[in-house]
Amino acid sequence: MTNEALQQTILSWFPDPEFLQPQFTEEGSQYLIVNVEAEQLHELMQLLKSNPETKFDYLFNLTGVDYGKELGVVYHLESTVHRHILVVKVQADDRENPIFDTVQDLWATANYHEREVYDFFGIKFRNHPNLKRLFLTEDWEGFPLRKDYVDETNMVVK
């Protein structure tokens, strides 16, 4: 499916203009990006995976990003049937308690990747069955991949 067709299909799932709409962009990226609000994330992901036209059954990358003010998660999806690729982005303004719905019920691979994001960015995932640190020890303070993280002993500042 081409990017335009993908965009039309996804928009047709959210017909109510009063409700929040997913925002599309292709600027500065080789893939189509869809920005979605946190409350719509799980619904959109479910549709993307189950709809036979889109059939995004392969989550090949899940990245946590610190945008400075907001914290976000980027999902890279591919369909093994249609071989099209879509990037889904979600952001949270709340740096103290950022939380999104887990997608590990849709893609089992998200289990470890979400734990990694929690470990390094402190982003929580609602309904995750085993949300604990993946690499660092349980008593580690702070979230190292955040831009405002400071560790005077372990970090070499250039």
The 3-state DSSP composition of the chain as helix, strand, coil percent (nearest 5) reads 25, 25, 55
Smallest distance from the beta carbon of 57 to other proteins, in angstroms? 5
Task: Note whether 46 binds other proteins by CB under 8 A.
Answer: no
Q: Rounded to an integer, what distance in angstroms lies between the CA atom of residue 48 and that of residue 15?
A: 16
Task: Note whether 65 binds other proteins by CB under 8 A.
Answer: yes
Choose between 5 and 136: whose C-beta lies nearer to other proteins.
136
Residues in 119-138 that interact with other proteins by CB under 8 A: 134-137
Smallest distance from the beta carbon of 52 to other proteins, in angstroms? 15
Task: Note whether 116 binds other proteins by CB under 8 A.
Answer: yes
Written as six digits, the tokens of 139 are 């008593």
- Is 87:32 a contact under the CB 8 Å cutoff? yes
Residues in 2-21 that interact with other proteins by CB under 8 A: none
Q: What is the 3-state secondary structure (H, E, C) of 6-54?
A: HHHHHHHHCCCCCCCCCEEECCCCCCEEEEECHHHHHHHHHHHHHCCCC
Task: Note whether 75 binds other proteins by CB under 8 A.
Answer: no
Task: Note whether 28 binds other proteins by CB under 8 A.
Answer: yes
Choose between 27 and 93: whose C-beta lies nearer to other proteins.
27
Q: Rounded to an integer, what distance in angstroms lies between the CA atom of residue 133 and that of residue 139?
A: 10
Q: In which element (H, E) is residue 118 found?
A: helix 110-121
Binding site for other proteins (CB under 8 A): 27-31, 57-61, 63, 65-66, 74, 76, 80, 83, 107-109, 111-113, 116, 134-137, 144-145, 158
